[in-house]
Chain A
Amino acid sequence: MGILEVKGVNKRFGGLQALGDVNLSVKENSVHAIIGPNGAGKSTLLNCLVGKLIPDSGSVMFDGKSVLGRKPHEINQMGISRVFQTPEIFGDLSVLENVMIPCFARRDGAFRLHAYETVRKEADIREQAEAMLEDVDMLDKRHMTASSLSRGDKRRLEMAMCLVQAPKLLLLDEPTAGMARADTNNTIDLLKEIKAKRDITMCIIEHDMHVVFSLAERITVLAQGTPLVEETPENIKGHPKVREAYLGEAQV
């Protein structure tokens, strides 16, 4: 049993079968990549995992519990954090506040009316957030407004916001999309570092083969809404079905 078990998931948008009978099993503490050409249904699948979309049929079990029908904030509280394609951070707030908010969410749950307490006096939360920022080398930027960070730093900040919650599963939606080579390599190093330091399961949706082969232990190839193969990186490289999906039949 994997920590994340997807069984027979279907999702239609009108006449388009976005996901057709998707099965996926992600082992605990592994790095699992989902790759596939444009329109293969990678993002749809991810949105079904985090509660943004509800599949038409099938089951999604996380840590032994079903996530279907739960709202995004409930799924996050179960231990799934998500990194977006373009970093989603609190742009108007300081870097430190950005990391403190997930700490509050972990400690106090989805809602608490802590209107008469003072942020300054939350030394524990502050220390926790600062330690996390230290971890991603951003402590010196903690008083900057988040929107003024460079793109790379925004990505680092978003990772810090997810990791400070100590999620069991980290979902990454094309974490290097639109990045220059150097930035991509930095992100790969960052992710390797994160993985080395803690017990965490990662599920990466990615376009860039370089990223996938540097990180993943298992790879699922998705084409036209259906998983073609699930293999180790070595076995994926020369796999005829994968070549077919990416390059088209004519060139095989």
Chain B
Amino acid sequence: MLGLERKDTYLMLAVAFITLFAPIILNPFPAGSALAQFNAGYPDLMQRFVIFGIFAIGFNILFGLTGYLSFGHAAFLGIGSYSAVWMFKLLSMNVIPAILLSIVMAGLFALVIGFVSLRRSGIYFSILTLAFAQMSYNLAYSVLTPVTNGETGLQISLNDPRILDGPSNGGLPVTSLFGAEMRDSTTLFVGPWSWDFSVGYYVCAALMLLAFYLSVRIFRSPFGMMLRAVKSNQQRMNYTGLNTRPYTLAAFVISGMYAGLAGGLLAAMDPLAGADRMQWTASGEVVLMTILGGAGTLIGPVLGAGFIKYFENIFSKINDGILHQWFAFMPDGLENVMVTLIHPFIGKGWHLTLGIMFMLVVIFLPGGLVEGAQRTGRLFRRRDRNAGHVESDAARQRAAAE
């Protein structure tokens, strides 16, 4: 289907299914129940899942395929956001021109930054990209205040021209797609459950599916094969008549455009752009997402993005009060001990939990969560048909090789 192999088609369909029904899947607990705080199916968080999914998918095209570790991809995210907000201010609140400009601007910046940074490889490349991103961050924060509105961040206001929309009547206008407002949502009540279907989420989800599809195409293309060859042996590439520079630059620009799209979508969901979006911690985050999920795998980056955003938003919400509720069944002394023990890992301490998980994954599952899933799958398959496992092993190796 759509020019994909059967295996990739299944993956694509699975991702599409999960994305489309995410509002239901991510809200497994009834609204009023004690476990409702683990529900992630609210529009704001779901948008983050898919937007950072796009960011990580793009990053993976560069890092996963060519092995070039960029430590400055947040710069493109920020450039995307600023471009989108400017489009909202000057042209229209429609998200389409905003997103298009985000992608184009991020692509142009990636072309320049990539052209310079790709003269070096390895750690020097990482440092160069980091330097560019920090420069962008500091410029956005101070010197470029007329463009970026410095510390306050760029926002829309009532006085903006908005050529296509005309003067607004009353309050601040909202972002929309041909009249469908991004913040609009319908809530569906089924028994004790409630599910939010938001316009903004579905716009992001549709673009994420498109982004994912394109990344699958790139992975399976001759171009993708060349990028893996770059990672494997640049010397042989050159002596085979292939120029590695345009290949790596193209990968860099493509992944920069993905980041621009993600930045544009962030602004489309909430028309605000701040310099913080470009800071090096944001660049580090996408590295973590990609490695945690599985660099070089198709679905890994999306998993990693979802995982980190879930921790950031859900684990950080759990506080001591909630812990006391959970352990209320224990004798008082023991309850307090348990709460004290778990306290550093929750609330503001969610980074600690994430850090430990990241270490465990890197040490025991170098292939990320995807490798974990594969190993688990293999374990079950082996138990199912003990006799046939030799053949299935061989088949898997063949499949892996192809």
Q: Which residues of A contact B (CB under 8 A)?
A: 50, 71-74, 76-77, 81-82, 84, 88-94, 96-97, 100-102, 104-106, 108-120, 122, 142-145, 161, 165
Contacts and interface: CB of A to CB of B under 8 A. Distances in A.
Name the 7 nearest CB pairs between A and B, nearest first.
A143-B401, A76-B241, A115-B223, A110-B243, A90-B232, A105-B241, A111-B246
Given A120-B220, A143-B398, A143-B401, A113 B250 contact: yes
Contact of A73 (B221, B222, B225, B243): B243
A119 B221 contact: yes
Contact of A165 (B224, B237, B240, B246): B240
Contact of B233 (A76, A90, A145): A90
Contacts of A105: 240-242
Nearest to A114: B222
A77 to B, nearest CB: 5
Contacts of B241: 73-74, 76-77, 102, 105-106, 109-110, 165
Contacts of B237: 73, 101
B221 A88 contact: no
A106 B222 CA distance: 13
Given A72-B238, A110-B241, A116 B225 contact: no
Nearest to A102: B240
Nearest to A145: B401
A115 B225 contact: no
A76 to B, nearest CB: 4
Nearest to B223: A115
A18 to B, nearest CB: 21
A104 B228 CA distance: 14
A101 B217 contact: no
Contacts of A89: 233, 236
Contacts of B225: 93, 97, 100-101, 104, 119
Interface in B241-283: 241-243, 246-247, 250, 254
Contacts of B235: 88
Contacts of A102: 240-241
B218 interface: yes
Which secondary structure dominates chain B's binding surface?
helix
Contacts of B5: 120
A144 B222 contact: no
B17 interface: no
Contacts of A115: 217-218, 221, 223-224, 250, 254
A104 B226 contact: yes
B128 to A, nearest CB: 22
Given A91-B232, A119-B225, A120-B5, A111 B243 contact: yes
Nearest to B250: A113
Given A76-B240, A97-B225, 7 more contacts: A72-B238, A91-B232, A93-B225, A101-B242, A105-B240, A114-B221, A119-B225
14 contacts: A71-B243, A73-B237, A76-B239, A91-B233, A93-B229, A94-B402, A105-B242, A110-B241, A110-B246, A112-B222, A116-B217, A117-B222, A119-B222, A143-B401
A105 to B, nearest CB: 4
Given A94-B401, A115-B221, A118-B220, A101 B238 contact: no
A92 B240 contact: no
Contacts of B223: 112-115, 117
B397 interface: yes
B204 to A, nearest CB: 23
Given A50-B239, A145-B401, A93 B232 contact: yes
Contacts of A111: 242-243, 246-247
B228 A73 contact: no
Nearest to A109: B241
Nearest to A94: B401
A88 B240 CA distance: 11
B162 interface: no
Contact of B236 (A74, A90, A104, A145): A90
A38 B380 CA distance: 58
Contacts of B217: 115-116, 118
Given A90-B232, A91-B233, A144 B401 contact: yes
A164 to B, nearest CB: 10
